Structure 1
């Protein structure tokens, strides 16, 4: 037995007990604090959240407003279809992530299981189309072309299709009245993303996960007005998910209708003639390249010269907007975004840039007059000029002696404008410019609005380019490192020699830059919509309008009509004498100038037509065809990339557009009964008391359509005839099937 005393262990045991007590007390205090925080501090918040767990929200998408032409004909509206959707959230709760359910669904819909599964996968940078780029919590549409029998199979076999719904839904439709697709003008829709929902909450215009929003064209520009506001119905449910009452309801508000200045019949003609002009160009032999013209793309714009409103706008290649409805297929998406199809989503009327060629010469004429050159003077038109050691020729090598500016415009004499621009370049100091250069030729173009966007109510418009001294300096700063690197190489080809020259003084405005610019060549870039505005200003006496397509926004009930008035954005830098002079010259282009061979028999005494042809040369490509025209009411501008000469490639198509609008017959007579639009439409179509537009009655019927479905059992016994169900009543029926 040990004689060691026990008192040495007592303090250690006591300390351990104290520490243990402190830990227990700390845990109790922590639990107590947390309990206070949950029940007292945030009690109301958690009570509200708990209550919300017993509430299910059903979103009723708003019917999107229609886009109408100038007479009220629907260019974009809605039709009611049976849409089969899948809840990704519900599918992921299943052991196999819903694979079996989707496979059964594919069998009912007559689709491949793989295609159905691809529809519900989320899009990212590595996932090919088709995929879902909307919210993962939103029902994902599998098809909007389900038959009534397919829908009934899904509804009656709920146990086989958990997470799958089949509901009548208003779906966007692009009906192409008279054959007018107006694809790039109208644009398309796609589901809202989580980022867009978050951003909308900050602006007070909260988006719902079921919303579709405009991605391009008018659908995007006027999205907030067209979309309306989704309705939300809140149902009280028990712990088994059965509906026990209604907790509240916010009615859906239909979107407003957009009346446009587009005339569907003129639009159809413009599209047809542009397409035909491209086909004809591809059958025309190009002597320069010893091949047929490629005619890879083109655009046409028809504008009301008095308002800047666009009557028609077509771009080629084009596409069918309906391809986006219900989710675009992988095949269609690849076609619309591939280089091989030459990017049909581009609206080349506002996004296609090219050198304008001789259609730029009226601007150079204006610049010359403003610079002090006599409007009544005579100027040399030799076959060529040597400037800075380089020979600059007329397009076809012609010589016309001493001629007026008017005649120079009629026959499109390049050397007259070479001479004027070169002389002005010398006055500005040549390669050693004065501190304050006049730069009349560049200044005048900018005063006509070139080098900047027109402000048209379509997204994605580009600026074009006026290569003045400021641009020249900026371009040099951006490229001098590359130029100087090439300059040090041993290569001695043309490109290398140019790089060596640019390395040392690429910022200098040379004589060649100025003379090329004067005839619309070199680094100058314009768009068809810009040229439409320029020629409209020449036609109307000098007023530059902001081009518009939207004409009025009409609320769904028709009580509020917001007109979109024409907006003046500037004045042409010309006196009325100069404008009259240019008008006279451009009329001469049609009667005796470069376009006369295409307009024989035109009733010039009744419908005075003015025109300017343009054949723009592009390095490494065939020439671009430009044809810019106007009458007292309309400007029609057409361009075809790699399409040949101005009058040769675009002339016949432009003439046919005018013939259709004015009712001009083959013998030159005018039949007003056949004229599509002899005068611009100034009034809005008739708006009825219920908000419908008379000419759009078919669109309104489509929105209110019901299905020819058989009768099915109702909640209280008996039957419900689904043929009489509107989308709203069908939704209530489906809710009953889901919860009761």
Structure 2
């Protein structure tokens, strides 16, 4: 708005006012007057309603109205020019400038020793300006060069999620041949260029896939949630963010700060020139607690043993393994099978690939079975039951039993109503330690019966919850399941379609959950956490995979994870001692062939096998152990679905992981013949 406009407006108002005044007053009595004498006749009681008088009044009203309108306009012009000039100047400036955003490289993900698990790599990317949409021939040529349908190219260029003035991504990771052809024929591809960007890189393919997770384009729901969040990280449509695993959990650390370039545009939005530019800043590097070598050993062993079981005729559909430092909760290795490669998600995953990764037929490769798989525990629950029964007075350190291989509630060996021990020929006389070593089910049926007649309400369940079962461990990964500790109330509500007698909690339900069967469900992470409590004689550290965040400059850390003790499971040392003896016997006494896999390891180990029946033809095998026995440092657990037993499957995986930690691989490959409860 120029000041000259105010002068012109003021003159216009003045001119109009003069015209109106002339019309009103210029028609009144002049200097010359025609007088015929006498006075003009006048009607009594009348008023002057002549046409001239009426016309004059109307002109006065019009003058006031016109003057009022122009006064308002003049006031508005004055306000715009003097009061709001800065505001309108800013609007004018914004109408001719735009901000173009540049994505920032994400921070790297490293193992505890600084080895790169996830990084970034350069990617040649074909981009196009929106004007290319107006040239059908150019789009067809570009589609043919890239090997894409023309409609797909059109949709890519129509996508303005990266910004109205930003170049639209058409194809990533193009070949040098494509780059050269576009560069040699600029006349054929106006508005098309090649940019060097960065893409996520997973140099080890599937390694630690379920821990690190994958990235993907921000969804509309995620964008809305970020706008409502107070995290301090701002996103725009089209941004690439972590979707699962560490990539998602530590998104605020890994996400960089996008670059910004201010450009001048014309009325049609065409970029004329650049103004100012701020370079993007990469995200911070994240150190994990994983040890790359141990992680490799865990994944290789898991797949190897599964393939061996399949060769023997067992489905061996899936499995998982996790190793934890029980002194601070650090996860040294975590693997789940079947697995996937996060590289599949770089640049967008194909629909067919997504369908495969999400299918039941493929056994859900995206599922992290360590934290999200829920299974009956089998006999790995027995150390927990033993400690709880001793504390609650259901048994004492001198308790003994006699196992014939058959048990019923009334002790009638001739009755047809009862339950078998897994070792149907019977274990004979057993005490607490040997009952645990040989996993005698009769011992735990008797404990379940003892709780039934005790005055302790749901004491078994309370003990399980004390060890953390039935709730998430709190590990810093999304998607953790809580498992299930069944109670009388739960059973009544869950089995609502059966007769009341069957819905009620029975003594047999006690016996079932004491051997890790029935409706009990746990995750491998929960069980390993519970064994950490046993190894530590009480202290339960929260498991975690984040170790530290590296500073953007220098070699220091800006964030260091502080281990957190979630709880303490308190039992008498004498109770822990008897359980330790029983678990040591599992390793060195239960079976001589099985023991050969452990006597070739310098450190002493305590562990427990488990075989859980499911709704499949073949059971689930478990094995959990800690070492060194006298000063525990590591707890390792593994499970495998649809195998013969834990001793013939999961045990080998745990042994291989200990071998990687201590540098002493298992060189005794004769397979154990023991089956376990």
User: What TM-score does the superposition give when structure 1 sets the normalisation length?
Assistant: 0.74
Aligned partners of 1:86 and 1:139 also within 8 Å: yes
Matches within 5 A, 1:445-594: 445-473=464-492, 475-476=493-494, 480=496, 483=497, 499-501=498-500, 506=503, 508-558=504-554, 561=557, 562-593=559-590
Q: Distance in 2 between matches of 1:667 and 1:517?
A: 37
Aligned partners of 1:141 and 1:326 also within 8 Å: no
Alignment partner of 1:108 is 2:148: no
Which residue of the other structure, out of 257, 278, 286, is the alignment partner of 2:285? 257
1:143 deviation in Å?
3.0
Deviates more, 1:460-469 or 1:149-158: 149-158
Alignment partner of 1:70 is 2:124: no
Deviates more, 1:405-414 or 1:292-301: 292-301
Question: Structure 1 pair 136/524, CA: closer, same or farther in 2 (3 Å)?
Answer: farther
Question: Structure 1 pair 542/55, CA: closer, same or farther in 2 (3 Å)?
Answer: same
Which residue of the other structure, out of 389, 392, 406, is the alignment partner of 1:384? 406
Q: Please list the CA deviations of residues 659-710 of structure 1 after superposition, one character each: whole Å capped at 9, or x if unmatched.
A: 2332325668xxxxxxxxxxxxxxxxxxxxxxxxxxxxxxxxxxxxxxxxxx
Question: Structure 1 pair 255/605, CA: closer, same or farther in 2 (3 Å)?
Answer: closer
Q: Name 1:334's counterpart in structure 2.
A: 355
Aligned partners of 2:293 and 2:660 also within 8 Å: no
Matches within 5 A, 1:300-379: 300-372=321-393, 373-379=395-401
1:366 deviation in Å?
0.9
Q: Distance in 1 between matches of 2:479 and 2:78?
A: 56
Other structure's SS at 1:282 match: helix
1:164 deviation in Å?
4.0
Q: Distance in 2 between matches of 1:426 and 1:117?
A: 74
1:49 deviation in Å?
3.2
Other structure's SS at 1:646 match: coil
Aligned partners of 2:289 and 2:332 also within 8 Å: yes
Q: Name 1:641's counterpart in structure 2.
A: 641
Matches within 5 A, 1:54-93: 54-86=96-128
Other structure's SS at 2:518 match: coil
Q: Distance in 2 between matches of 1:254 and 1:86?
A: 25
Deviates more, 1:413-422 or 1:204-213: 204-213
1:392 deviation in Å?
1.5
Question: Structure 1 pair 152/391, CA: closer, same or farther in 2 (3 Å)?
Answer: same
Q: Please list the CA deviations of residues 106-153 of structure 1 after superposition, one character each: whole Å capped at 9, or x if unmatched.
A: 22224454664576688xxxxxxxxx9988997554432223442354
1:308 deviation in Å?
1.3
Question: Structure 1 pair 146/444, CA: closer, same or farther in 2 (3 Å)?
Answer: same
Q: Name 1:8's counterpart in structure 2.
A: none
Aligned partners of 1:598 and 1:651 also within 8 Å: no
Aligned partners of 2:291 and 2:332 also within 8 Å: yes
Gaps of 5+ in 1: 1-16, 123-131, 285-291, 429-436, 484-498, 669-740
Q: Name 1:659's counterpart in structure 2.
A: 659
Q: Distance in 2 between matches of 1:409 and 1:598?
A: 16
Deviates more, 1:384-393 or 1:132-141: 132-141
Aligned partners of 2:100 and 2:166 also within 8 Å: no
Other structure's SS at 2:472 match: coil
Q: Distance in 2 between matches of 1:534 and 1:40?
A: 75
Paired positions, count: 607
Other structure's SS at 1:648 match: coil
Q: Please list the CA deviations of residues 539-582 of structure 1 after superposition, one character each: whole Å capped at 9, or x if unmatched.
A: 22221111011100112213651111211101123222222221
Q: Which has the higher contact order (CA 8 A, sep 6+)?
A: 1
1:613 deviation in Å?
0.8
Q: Distance in 2 between matches of 1:334 and 1:421?
A: 45
Q: Name 1:188's counterpart in structure 2.
A: 214
Matches within 5 A, 1:604-615: 606-615=602-611
Deviates more, 1:373-382 or 1:254-263: 373-382
1:208 deviation in Å?
3.6
Other structure's SS at 1:235 match: strand
RMSD: 3.7
- Structure of higher CA gyration radius: 2
Aligned partners of 2:265 and 2:272 also within 8 Å: yes
1:260 deviation in Å?
0.8
Q: Please list the CA deviations of residues 513-537 of structure 1 after superposition, one character each: whole Å capped at 9, or x if unmatched.
A: 1110111111111111111111122
Aligned partners of 1:266 and 1:311 also within 8 Å: yes
User: What TM-score does the superposition give when structure 2 sets the normalisation length?
Assistant: 0.80
1:343 deviation in Å?
1.5
Aligned partners of 2:423 and 2:440 also within 8 Å: no
Other structure's SS at 1:303 match: strand
Aligned partners of 2:380 and 2:623 also within 8 Å: yes
Q: Distance in 2 between matches of 1:42 and 1:186?
A: 53
1:62 deviation in Å?
1.7
Alignment partner of 1:246 is 2:275: yes
Q: Name 1:200's counterpart in structure 2.
A: 226
Matches within 5 A, 1:371-450: 371-372=392-393, 373-387=395-409, 390-428=417-455, 437-450=456-469
Other structure's SS at 1:420 match: helix
1:438 deviation in Å?
3.4
Question: Structure 1 pair 424/99, CA: closer, same or farther in 2 (3 Å)?
Answer: farther
Q: Distance in 1 between matches of 2:356 and 2:219?
A: 24
Aligned partners of 1:133 and 1:191 also within 8 Å: no
Other structure's SS at 1:461 match: coil
